[in-house]
């Protein structure tokens, strides 16, 4: 595989927090799926995400997510491979799926909307991962 084909294939299967946030803000129809445990989900998640542990995807996805949907999965962080496991399960079912690299950790560190039992909020941007910006409505 040449270098161009490699990077085209990589980008076809991955996204990052910044690109996902931009797609959601632009109104693109993307189903965001958190594949982490119930405990991790309760601590916080991408605002508007669906919770579906990667072990449940084969059974639940065909009933809950319309065929042909674009799906982005994520787990906790770059050190977690549950996102890849979830993406594999969606791919086996024929969904157009990408994994959000950096996971929930980088979503939070870049200051994007986080949802938990207290509602939707944002945490400060980590200057090592993003540039603080003027906030607008989520």
Q: Taking the chain, what is the end-to-end CA distance rounded to the nearest angstrom?
A: 41
- Dump the DSSP string for 69-118: -EEEEE-SSTT--HHHHHHHHHHHTT-EEEEEETHHHHHHHTT--EEETT
Over residues 99-109, the mean pLDDT reads 96
Report the alpha-carbon distance of residue 126 to residue 111 in Å, rounded: 8
Mean pLDDT score, 99-110 = 96
72: enclosing H helix or E strand? strand 70-74
Task: Check whether 61 has a pLDDT greater than 70.
Answer: yes
- CA pair distance 33, 94, nearest whole angstrom: 16
Write down the pTM of the prediction. 0.90
Structural domains of the chain ordered from first start? 14-121 (3.40.250.10)
């Amino acid at each position: 595989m040449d270098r161009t084909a490699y990077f085209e294939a990589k980008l076809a299967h991955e996204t990052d927090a910044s690109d996902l946030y931009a797609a959601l803000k632009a109104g693109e129809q993307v189903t965001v799926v958190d594949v982490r445990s119930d405990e991790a989900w309760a601590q916080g998640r991408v605002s508007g995400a669906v919770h579906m542990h990667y072990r449940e995807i084969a059974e639940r996805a065909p009933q809950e997510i319309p065929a042909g949907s674009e799906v982005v999965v994520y787990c906790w962080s770059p050190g977690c491979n549950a996102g890849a496991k979830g993406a594999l399960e969606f791919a086996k079912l024929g969904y157009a799926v990408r994994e959000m690299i950096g996971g929930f950790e980088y979503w939070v560190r870049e200051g994007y909307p986080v949802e938990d039992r207290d509602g939707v909020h944002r945490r400060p941007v980590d200057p090592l991962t993003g540039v603080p910006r003027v906030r607008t409505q989520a």
